[in-house]
Amino acid sequence: MTNDAQPRTQWLGRWGFVLAATGSAVGLGNVWKFPYMTGEYGGGAFVLVYLACILALGVPVMMTEIALGRRGRGSPIDAIRRVTAESGGRSPWSLLGWMAMACGFMILCFYVVVAGWSFSYLWKMLSGGLAGTSVDDMAAIFGANNANPFNLGFWSTLVTIITMLIVGKGVQAGIEKSVSWMMPGMVLMLLIMIVYGAFSGGFGDALHFLFAFNAGSLSSEGMLAAMGHAFFTLSLASGAILTYGSYLPRDASIGRTTLTVAVADTLVALMAGLAIFPVIFANGMEPGSGPGLIFMSLPLAFQAMPLGTLFGILFFVMLSMAALTSSISMVEATVSWLTDNKGISRRTAAWGTGIVLWIISTLAMLSFNVGADWTLAGKHFFDWLDYLTSRWMMPLGGLGVVLLAGFVLNSEVMREELGLSPVMHALWLFMVRYVSPLGIVVIFLDALGIATLEFAVQWPWLLLALAVITLIGEITSPRLKRTLCA
Ligand code: PFF
């Protein structure tokens, strides 16, 4: 390939990337956000749409982003510009890279606040501040934790500093190591919680709530939320996965890697649901009680189970670590762009980014106390950051990525990068050309009230026809070429 990309650092083998990408994907989105959104949007139907979005949008977009990153060997902006130029495309596509970088940074601005909650609960666990509390006390403790800006600010500042310390140290040393012990630890903790939940009396209700499909309970807003969350949880369209992909060695299989990350991420989210909802139902709590859900429910379980304090401490250590491996991935795009383009060191780039992050995240943190009244259209600054990124910017970015790969890039580029068999390549192409873009557009139109989902019923035939055409095209074209050249 001829382009102006610099030689880049690479992960130490295939597992380095898988661990880092899983570390990015698995985080507060799985353990904090997925359960509370499921609670807010009514359970099973939300879960089903979320799973469908992971499969139909998340997996194809992730494969495409990794391929774009590896091909373009750079930050989202540079990588997309190079890959598009290689196919004779125009530079406006690199706007996608700018949006992704902005999106990752905006997410980080509220993410460090939530990560701060996790750290502060770890501290409460260690210092015995959660012992002997009732269901009502839990809500009061969560409220009091947020009401003091110095307390909350202390924890989010700490998260910012730790994140920048790790990022400043560099790709391999900083990121890879922490993920390799954190992930298995997180899974083990969740398993312990699920076993506890199975005996808590609320397990049946939890299963029913999570997996019973009740179409009536899902609004257009819920569908949009489920789609946005699929992007959020896989760290898509926000620069993280694409930039990590730029460090991936040439011989690693993108398809297998993507599946590993997506399956691990989805399992952790479902496990978190199975760990949390039994506690909610056994204690008569409200599943739709919002962002404080896990912080108000899990400590109750830790109080009641044998060795609860120890498990509670371990759990919050794991959650805080999971949050950190995600936050470091959100800064990676910006830091990589600054070091590649502005000639500054990694350390300077990390700390410079950290200062801007600290200022904006402090504003987000104030949404819970001093700035509780600073709202626009009923949303705080914190809520706006979440809403704009998850509901709009990520799905739009994902749409851009699949359109770029499906229609603009020279088909050989993706064929070479993905290295799939003809049938699998046809499947990928069919997804990025038709299923993913149509899915995203329809959910947008539905949420905007422009069209309803009913017309989607007419699709299966259209989609089937397009699938067959793509498959035939894919299987015959390389063969045809070979025959013609022979
Ligand atoms: N996937 C992360 C989580 O579920 O917590 C959040 C995230 C990480 C979003 C990195 C975006 C990103 F670039």
Domain ranges of the chain: 14-376
Element (H, E) at 322: helix 308-342
Three-state secondary-structure class, residue 379? strand
Q: Tell me the Cα Rg of the chain.
A: 22
From atom 11 of ligand 1, which residue's Cα is the shortest distance away?
235
Q: CATH homologous superfamily for 14-376?
A: Amino acid/polyamine transporter I (1.20.1740.10)
Ligand 1 pocket test target in 238, 261, 335, 336 with most atoms within 8 Å of CB: 238
234 CA to centre of ligand 1 in angstroms: 6
Q: How far apart are CA 40 and CA 110, in angstroms?
A: 19
Round the average pLDDT of the chain to a whole number and report it: 88
Ligand 1 atom closest to Cα of residue 240: 13
Share of the chain above pLDDT 90, in %: 60
Ligand 1 atom closest to Cα of residue 329: 10
pLDDT digits (tens, 9 = 90+) for 409-448: 988 899 999 999 988 999 999 999 999 999 999 888 888 8
231 CA to centre of ligand 1 in angstroms: 8
pLDDT digits (tens, 9 = 90+) for 143-192: 999 999 999 999 999 999 999 988 887 754 455 566 777 778 889 889 99
pLDDT digits (tens, 9 = 90+) for 28-87: 999 999 999 999 998 999 999 999 999 999 999 999 999 999 999 999 999 999 999 999
Three-state secondary-structure class, residue 195? helix
The sign of the torsion formed by the CA atoms of 79, 83, 88, 90 equals: negative
What pLDDT, on a 0 to 100 scale, did the predictor assign at position 481?
56
Q: How far apart are CA 456 and CA 438, in angstroms?
A: 9
Ligand 1 atom closest to Cα of residue 104: 13
pLDDT digits (tens, 9 = 90+) for 208-218: 999 998 777 78
Question: The whole model's pTM is what?
Answer: 0.92
pLDDT digits (tens, 9 = 90+) for 366-415: 999 998 889 899 899 999 999 999 999 999 999 999 999 999 998 889 99
Element (H, E) at 67: helix 59-72
Ligand 1 atom closest to Cα of residue 241: 13
Q: How far apart are CA 434 and CA 442, in angstroms?
A: 12
73 CA to centre of ligand 1 in angstroms: 21
* Alpha helices, DSSP H, located in 26-148: 28, 34-40, 44-53, 59-72, 76-86, 95-126, 135-147
